[in-house]
Chain A
Amino acid sequence: MRKMRAAAMLAGLAVAVAACGNAPSTTQPTASGAPSQSSGGGGKTLEGVKLEVAAKWTGEEQKNFEQVLKAFTEKTGAQVTYASTGEDTGAYLGPRIQGGSPPDVAILPQPGLVQQYAEQNALKPLTPEVTKEIDTNYTPYWKELGSAGGQVYGVLIKAAHKSLVWYRSDAFDEAGVQPPTNWDELVKSSQTIADSGTPPFAFCGGSGWTLTDLFENVYLSTAGPENYDKLSKHEIPWTDPSVTTALEKIQQIVGKKEFVVGGSSGALQTVWPDCVTQVYGQKKAAMVIEADFVAVSALQAGAKVGEQAKYFPFPKAGDTSPVILGGDVAVAMKDTPGAMALLQFLASKEGGEIWAKLPGYLSPNKNVSPDNYPDELTRKLGQTIISAGESVRYDMSDLAPSAFGGTDGKGEWKVLQDFLRDPSDVKGTQTKLEDEAKKAWK
């Protein structure tokens, strides 16, 4: 018995010793950091500070972002570790917020999450310095996008251009059609391509977000930016006639069996990026309507971007030429000087240009010159964003509560999938969208 107690005490001691041993090792860097700060002059003000950044990027995108973080470390001396959240950022951050140990900076794939987390008081307001940086580099629309309740919380640091239609040039040549410039031409060319024996469109109907992207482009084009903003905030109902117009336009291309590769049931089982493979790998279809990042999947499918894989701007279906961006918003989850400095760096011209020189990046920052991009394609895309100026809009489904605009099998994703399954019922689709929206905006 006595032996046992002794053993327990020993074990306890061991734990205590270990605990003590840890403490100095964590404090040491800060201690040694202080002198270097004074010796290094005003530059590396954050020597010894440790930061954690969470974002959904993996692979190549992660490596590129880590290069940007490295530049930040070189500038300020702060050590930044990167944590990958996986595809579902909400599912990763939710428990960490609840558990009281969020990362210093999180990069949210949807501004909708900014509102959501701001309501939960999980975000820290940006300091005046960061806000000033945003004012210099961004149009007011983007500033508002990162705000909740009149307070600025986030900054859009990486954009995706979502108003593109990618096509396979040999399919167009075979059918003898040219890239269309408006919706009616698109429908007419599609008919010609279908007659030539190639279904014109491949849809990733299994991934609901590709369908919301299609809807948003048509809607921004037919209803204009003002209605777009209203619908984004659910200030007009989904039963609005402007939505009817947009859905009827979409009906023109998804309503015909021969227009969609695999028919509607095949399209609904196709998940991203299989529709790109259907166009460029299996050569089963001629066009895929999606963002700039199609280029990555097209390359993987064996097509050369710029030769077989080309794109044209989303054709005007109404009065506006749509430019819709997706993108990632950086927010601070801890109110530390390090977190704020990192956000300021990411929002700055300097940070943006470092990133812009790496492949696969498009900046929403108006002061980042398109000349920085490494290839012609990205340069052109960057140009369209800058020239569209104030009428650029953010992906609507990503502005919505995620239960409506960002969850498999729910909300807008589900209803638009049902619409693809049976494109004849425009009115019913609108009623269902409105029902889902009411639930989500409650």
Chain B
Amino acid sequence: MTERLDGPQNPPVSVTGGSSAGPADTPRTRRRLGPSPAVAIAFLLPAAVLLGIWVVYPIVYSIFRSLFDAPGTGFVGLGNYATIFSDGGMLTTIRNNLIWVAVAPLVVTTLGLIFAVLTERLRWATAFKLIVFMPMAVSLMAAGVIFRLVYEEDPDKGVANAVLTTVHDTFSSSQGYPDARPREGDQSQVATEGGAVVTRQPAQPGQPVLVPIVGIKPQNMPAGARPAAAPTGGAGLSGTVWFDFTPGGGGRNGAVDPEERGLPGMTVEAVKDGEVAATTTTAADGTFRFEDLPAGSYVVRLPKSNFEAPFHGLTWLGETLITPAIIGAFVWVWAGFAMVLIAAGLAAIPRDALEAARIDGATEWQVFRKITVPLLSPVLLVVFVTMIINTLKVFDLVFIIAPPSVQPQSNVIALEMWRVSFGGGGNQGLGSALAIFLLVLVLPFMIMNIRRFRRENA
């Protein structure tokens, strides 16, 4: 406070001196453009103090704190930094950050460029830009919640899988008994073999074949299914495929009980020496019959196609797709921002250069490649570097979109930093080390950006 009050006392001296004499009238006096150093310092001081309290001190203290252990009492030197590079989980976070930095900025910049160039020729450009820019108005956390729902595995909830299954089902539809399987156990007549159900013992024509199936959900039971009929034998190879489960319990395993129903529409193959000799389908009561089969022993097989589950889409939030899925959400948020910046740059490009090229016979692609992009490169670089810094710091999207069970696989440095220091880890030494590590990663790009700004202003 005193400095501030003292400060303004000085300027009158120099200012009055300067203004009364006037620089033009008295060339002898030292010419200065700005105010005196004292004034400069006085004006700088508030900002400097604030920066010192909120930026410099925390950084210095974080460096200091990162050299100590969890309670903050034992000096561990660079031990925390060693942990970062030796712990498996931490290495995964570093790997993920590398993936982020390699993919996200590039995709965002490219998409932004494409949108910007396309909107130039669009009739409804403003409306389009508004829509693409809209996600920027949503907080990252809300965007995370939105995408958590988008990627939900159940196609009834997640729009991503809803789209995939709809597209898939238009081309091929599955009509079978998903999740159904043969009755297990040594007493059972049938077993699974590579997804298909086969009889354990070879069957002879004239001998009835029993194929007990279990595990059919009530909603998958066809409406036309009738009570299963026990096979009667007779001419040809015959048998019954049925749901070997009496509702309410009490049925005998492997035997056709009164309340059990047949499984209609099941494809049945008679296989001899590995070759399909005949194919048929089951009737409403689950029975099937191969009429004119030569004598001999056959394996009765229900091919895999009977049991194929309908396509349920992708496991977006599983451990393999989680990082690409979150990057997708990030791109959704930031593509609009990139587009607006690049579109502004695009508007500043001299039209005559483009027109000259066109008159000289350049194709549109050549104009884009050789004229537009080079002229845009400063803007593209700004967007790109900004995105790199943003991806390095990414936190909220990962925190919200990844379900807890795949958080280790999708972890990033900023999230790990929070987790080890506050979110259960309770080790602020290691957390500080991670913070400093992140700072070191961001720093080169910051310097790059600052340098560029300076060059532009010069």
A contact set with B: CB distance below 8 Å: 1, 4-5, 8, 88, 90-91, 94-95, 116, 119-120, 173-177, 191-192, 194-198, 205-208, 258, 262, 265-266, 268-269, 271, 401-403, 406-410, 413-414, 417, 421
Contact = CB atoms under 8 A, between A and B. Distances in A.
A116 B317 CA distance: 34
Contact of B404 (A4, A119, A175, A409): A409
Contacts of B407: 408-409
Contacts, number: 121
A4 B12 CA distance: 14
Contacts of B9: 1
B422 A91 contact: yes
Nearest to A404: B424
Contact of B426 (A8, A191, A403): A403
B245 interface: yes
B404 A403 contact: no
Given A120-B71, A258-B215, A269-B317, A414 B424 contact: no
Interface of B is mostly: loop
Given A88-B424, A269-B153, A207 B218 contact: no
Interface of B: 1, 5, 8-9, 12, 71, 89, 153, 179, 181, 183-184, 214-218, 220-221, 244-250, 315, 317-319, 403-408, 411, 419-420, 422-427
A91 B317 contact: no
A410 B424 contact: yes
Contacts of A1: 8-9, 12
Nearest to A262: B153
A356 B75 CA distance: 49
A94 B71 CA distance: 11
A205 B403 CA distance: 10
Contacts of B406: 268-269
Contacts of B250: 176
9 contacts: A94-B422, A175-B249, A195-B215, A196-B214, A205-B405, A408-B419, A410-B89, A410-B424, A414-B408
Contacts of A8: 1, 5
Contact of B179 (A173, A258, A265, A421): A258
B261 to A, nearest CB: 12
Nearest to B410: A409
A90 B431 CA distance: 15
Given A258-B181, A402-B424, A195 B404 contact: no
B408 A195 contact: no
B10 to A, nearest CB: 11
A195 B12 CA distance: 94
A266 B153 contact: yes
Nearest to A120: B71
A265 B318 contact: yes
B249 A177 contact: yes
Contacts of A88: 422-424
Contacts of A95: 422
Given A120-B71, A197-B218, A208-B404, A407 B424 contact: yes
Contact of B217 (A198, A206, A413, A421): A198
Residue among A119, A173, A269, A407 with most chain B CB within 10 A: A269
Given A195-B215, A205-B405, A91 B423 contact: yes
Nearest to A172: B249
